[in-house]
Structure 1
């Protein structure tokens, strides 16, 4: 779905929440294959049983990529992702956990050089089914202005 939104249209405090997505063993195995991260924390059920968490942990980068993908429900041709700041893997995600994502617009500011665009900051919070926060980060967007600054 396409939803055009200019810099001026974003409102501080506006938020949205995704549907849930359950992390599966297949997700972990595929992510390990894509990234080359076959550490036992993700792949070795027996070894993990002897560790503090007692079970395999989803890769933080897997949780991040799945969660961010869950927020990509619309295409805004006036905006593009400018990157992510302050990414933290707060708590582990295990096979069978269901994550949801809440995003909240926290800041808008002028671009220092481009009068035709501004920055929009969005706080991203991923939680699992019991409400535990598992990942947080800030998503920055570069967004076209409806009217360029003088």
Structure 2
């Protein structure tokens, strides 16, 4: 779905939430192959049994990638990603965990180019137990409605 949501139309506190998505062993194996990250924390079931979590954990970068993809259900034709800040992985995600994402408009401010503004979204990822597993800030460069 395509929309045109300008800078002026974003309201701090506005929130949206995704459906869930279960992280599978296939996700982990494919991500390892794409990134070259074959660390035993993700790939070696027997070694992980000797570690604090007692099981394999998903790559943080996998959870970040999946979470960002989950929020991309609407294409805003007048906004684009400017970057991500303050990325934190607060709890591990295991094979079989189901994650969902909450996005809340946190802040909006002018950009150095007067025809644009910056929107800061707080992105929070939760597992099926409603535990926060990842968070970051997504910065959007957004056109203003009345471009100067």
Give every structure 1 segment of 4 or more consecutive aligned residues whose post-TM-superposition deviation is greater than 6 Å: none
Separation in 2, partners of 1:82, 1:59:
24
Separation in 2, partners of 1:132, 1:49:
23
Give the match's secondary structure for 1:38: coil
Give the match's secondary structure for 2:136: strand
Does 1:121 pair with 2:125? Answer: no
Give the Å deviation of 1:148.
Answer: 2.6
Q: For residue 86 of structure 1, what is the aligned residue in structure 2?
A: 86
Does 1:100 pair with 2:100? Answer: yes
Give the Å deviation of 1:109.
Answer: 0.2
Aligned residues: 148
Q: For residue 146 of structure 1, what is the aligned residue in structure 2?
A: 145
Give the Å deviation of 1:4.
Answer: 1.0
RMSD across aligned positions (CA):
0.6
Long gaps (5+) in structure 2? none
Give the TM-score, by structure 1 length: 0.97
Separation in 1, partners of 2:65, 2:103:
15
Separation in 1, partners of 2:76, 2:135:
23
